[in-house]
Structure 1
Amino acid sequence: MTARFTLYSRSWCHLCEDMLAALQRLAPPGQPFAVDVVDVDADPALVARFDELVPVLYGRLDEPELCHYFLDEAAVRSYLERSPRADQAAPV
C-alpha cells in the first residue's frame, strides 16, 4: 500500500505550492506516495472549514492534520514510517 496524503489548497496560494513541493521532495527513493490536492474554493463547506488555514496537510483523514501553513517534516516522516509500504508483506 502506498502512503497517501491529502493537501487542502487553493490555486492562487504560494504557501500551498511551497508545501506541495516540499512534500514531494520527502518521498523516499523507490517509495513514492500519492498526494490528493483538494481545492477548498470548489466547496463552500471546505472554505468554511479551512479558509485561512490553507495549506492544510493530512495523512489519514480520520486523524488530526499533520500541519498547516508550512510543512512539518518531522510529522510527515513519522507518518511515512508508520504507513505500510507496498513492499511490506501483510501478516498472515
Structure 2
Amino acid sequence: MKLTLMFREYCSLCHKMRDDLQPYQQEYGFELEVLDVDEDEALEAKYNELVPVLLLGEQEICHWHLDEAKLRAALAEALDREKPV
C-alpha cells in the first residue's frame, strides 16, 4: 500500500505532516511517496494552495494538517480490500 504526500520543501506544514506520518507508517507498513509540487506544473496547478495533501491512490485523505481519524479509516479500508476472499 502506498500513500502520496504532495509537498513543498519550504513548507513547514508539509514537513510536520511527513513527520507525523512516521508512527502510522511503522504501524501500518505503507510506502510513502513524497512529491514536490513545485517540480511539476500540473501538480502545482492542482494542489497549489492545499499542500500538504495526503492521498491514497486518487483519494484525498486530508490536507494542511494530518487528520488521524480519516487516515486510520482510509488505511483500514485499504487493508480490508487487500485481504484475500
**Fold in common (TM above 0.5):** yes
Which residues of 2 match residues 62-77 of structure 1 at below 5 A?
Answer: 63=59, 65-77=60-72
* Aligned mate of 2:21, from 8, 13, 23: 23
Query: Considering only CA atoms, is the larger Rg found in Structure 1 or Structure 2?
Result: 1
Q: Alignment partner for residue 84 of structure 2, among 65, 87, 90?
A: 90
CA deviations on 1:13-51 (whole Å, 9 max, x unpaired) are 11001001111122354x411111011000111111111
Q: Which runs of 5+ in 1 are unaligned?
A: none
The code of the aligned residue for 1:58 comes to L
Q: Which runs of 5+ in 2 are unaligned?
A: none
CA distance in 2: counterparts of 1:56 and 1:5, whole angstroms: 10
Report the TM-score, using the length of structure 2 for normalisation.
0.86
CA distance in 1, matches of 2:4, 2:49: 17
Structure with greater contact order relative to length (CA < 8 Å, sep ≥ 6):
1
The SS at the match of 1:26 is helix
Higher share in helix: 2
Post-superposition offset of 1:89: 5.2
Write the letter of the residue equivalent to 2:84.
A
Change in CA separation of 1:6 and 1:34 when aligned onto 2, cut-off 3 Å: same
TM-score (norm 1): 0.80
CA RMSD of superposed structures (Å): 1.8
Structure 1 or 2: more strand by fraction: 2
